[in-house]
């Protein structure tokens, strides 16, 4: 006995629990795992490879400078999904339009993948953790090319979601709606091995993550919540600790393990919020809820939000359930939705 369970073994064992499963979702998750290993290899040597750091000289749909590794990661995930044959369309932060996957093996594929290939890429050149986020839907249309209706589905319709965090170790964390499991890449065998079975986020925490540089323009409810976090109260372990990495994945992964809250509210630069609903907020909300956490936009459950645009933005309050509930209470009291004032 090897004493460890690889991602591939785990996926097959879990598939056996769904007698009607034909293996397509299992193969899709396998394809994502393969691409993650390829991207991980490039990220780990980024400092050594001259032509992989820095900007590629173009901007993405977000108007953000595309890093060479952004484009590399995007190409490799789309490539793996194309060759795997289980995906008929890919929505990516790096592409304004959808990517139709029309290879001969994909013509009957029934899954759609939304992906942020490299979240937090501004951290790449300074060797700070970055991540990949993915969300998987079953297409609604039954034939022909998938339509926008196939991808503009609510977060509650996701069949699977996950992230890869390229940090001190590389971890792949995913859910198919039956709990959350984490796998750590063992470079000596090139396999993701089960290291964090049945992950549960603590109901409370003492870490808050928010870019306080935008404080001036935060909604009053957020300002009041930040002050609550900073008050002296040993009974509730305050003041809390402020930790903000600049990679949502890294902040949320830490909070998954230690407890905490991550907030990206409306700001002057992001009056609708900054994070993207389809390929950042919804997958992270699915994972957090499956781990016993909570994810809202300050007023409404993220997974219930209507999806109207491919690159739609949303505010996000996500993490330990009791911390998010309290932050929502501050929003109700000091920034009621009907009086929401954008800077």
- Complex with ligand P6P: residue 8 or 246, whichever CB lies closer: 246
Q: Which is nearer to ligand P6P, 170 or 247 (CB)?
A: 247
Q: State the nearest-atom distance from the C-beta of 277 to ligand P6P, in Å.
A: 12
Q: In the complex, what is the shortest distance from the CB of residue 261 to ligand P6P, in angstroms, rounded to a whole number? A: 13
Interface residues toward ligand P6P, by CB under 6 A: 119-120, 211, 246-248, 274-275
- String of DSSP letters for 288-327: HHHTT-EEESSSSBGGGS---STT-B--EEEESHHHHHHH
Of 93 and 328, nearer to ligand P6P (C-beta) is 93
Q: In DSSP terms, which residues pair with 59 in a beta bridge?
A: 65
Considering beta carbons, is residue 160 or 165 the nearer one to ligand P6P? Answer: 165
CB of residue 126 vs ligand P6P: minimum separation in angstroms?
13
Closer Cβ to ligand P6P, 275 or 307, answer by number = 275
Pick between residue 120 and residue 260 the one whose CB is nearest to ligand P6P: 120
Helices 248-258 and 282-290: crossing angle in degrees, nearest 10, is: 10
Note whether 43 and 249 are within 8 A (CB).
Answer: no
* 101: nearest Cα among 117, 78, 72, 118: 78
Residue 183 Cβ, how far from ligand P6P at the closest point, in Å? 21
The whole-angstrom separation of Cα 280 and Cα 249 is 9
Nearest approach, Cβ of 271 to ligand P6P (angstroms)?
13
* Helix runs in 116-162, H state only: 148-151
Please, what is the minimum distance in Å from the beta carbon of residue 331 to ligand P6P?
A: 19
Residue 211 C-beta: closest distance to ligand P6P, Å = 3
Cα 263 versus chain centre, distance: 14
Q: How far is the CB of 141 from ligand P6P (least distance, A)?
A: 30
Alpha helices in 117-236 (DSSP H): 148-151, 220-230
**Buried b / exposed e across 267-287, counting CB within 10 Å, b at 16+?**
beebeebbbbbbbbbbbbbbb
Residues 107, 113, 116, 118, Cα dihedral to 10° = -60
How many residues are present in the chain? 343
CB closer to ligand P6P out of 18 and 215? 215
Cβ-proximal residues to 109 (8 Å cutoff; 6+ apart), any chain: 24, 85, 86, 87, 88, 101
CB of 70 or CB of 86, closer to ligand P6P:
70
The HSE-up count of residue 298 (CA atoms within 13 Å, CB side) is: 26
């Amino acid at each position: 006995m090897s004493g460890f369970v690889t991602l591939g073994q785990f996926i097959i064992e879990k598939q056996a629990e769904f007698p009607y499963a034909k293996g397509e979702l299992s193969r899709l998750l396998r394809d994502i795992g393969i691409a993650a290993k390829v991207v991980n290899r490039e990220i780990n040597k980024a400092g050594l490879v001259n032509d992989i750091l820095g900007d590629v000289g173009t901007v993405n749909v977000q108007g953000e400078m595309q890093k060479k590794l952004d484009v590399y990661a995007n190409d490799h995930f789309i490539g793996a999904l194309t060759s795997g044959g289980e995906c008929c369309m890919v929505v990516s932060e790096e592409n304004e339009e959808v990517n139709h996957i029309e290879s001969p093996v994909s013509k009957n594929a029934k899954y759609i993948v939304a992906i942020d290939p490299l979240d937090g890429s501004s951290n790449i050149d300074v060797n700070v953790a970055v991540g990949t986020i993915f969300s998987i839907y079953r297409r609604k249309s039954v034939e022909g090319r998938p339509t926008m209706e196939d991808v503009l589905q609510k977060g509650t319709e996701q069949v699977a979601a996950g992230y890869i965090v390229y940090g001190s170790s590389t971890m792949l964390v995913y859910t198919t709606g039956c709990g959350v499991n984490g796998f750590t890449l063992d470079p000596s065998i090139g396999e993701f091995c089960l290291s964090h079975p049945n992950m549960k986020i603590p109901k409370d925490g003492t870490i808050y993550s928010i870019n306080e540089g935008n404080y001036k323009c935060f909604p009053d409810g957020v300002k009041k919540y930040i002050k609550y976090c900073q008050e002296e109260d040993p009974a509730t372990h305050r003041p809390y600790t402020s930790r903000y990495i600049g990679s949502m994945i890294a902040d949320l992964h830490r909070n998954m393990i230690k407890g905490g809250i991550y907030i990206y509210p409306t700001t002057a630069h992001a009056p609708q919020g900054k994070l993207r609903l389809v390929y950042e907020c919804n997958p992270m909300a699915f994972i957090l809820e499956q781990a016993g956490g909570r994810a809202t936009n300050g007023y409404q459950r993220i997974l219930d939000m209507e999806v109207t645009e491919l690159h739609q933005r949303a505010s996000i309050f996500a993490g330990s359930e009791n911390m998010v509930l309290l932050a929502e209470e501050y929003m109700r009291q000091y920034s009621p939705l009907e009086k929401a004032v954008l800077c």
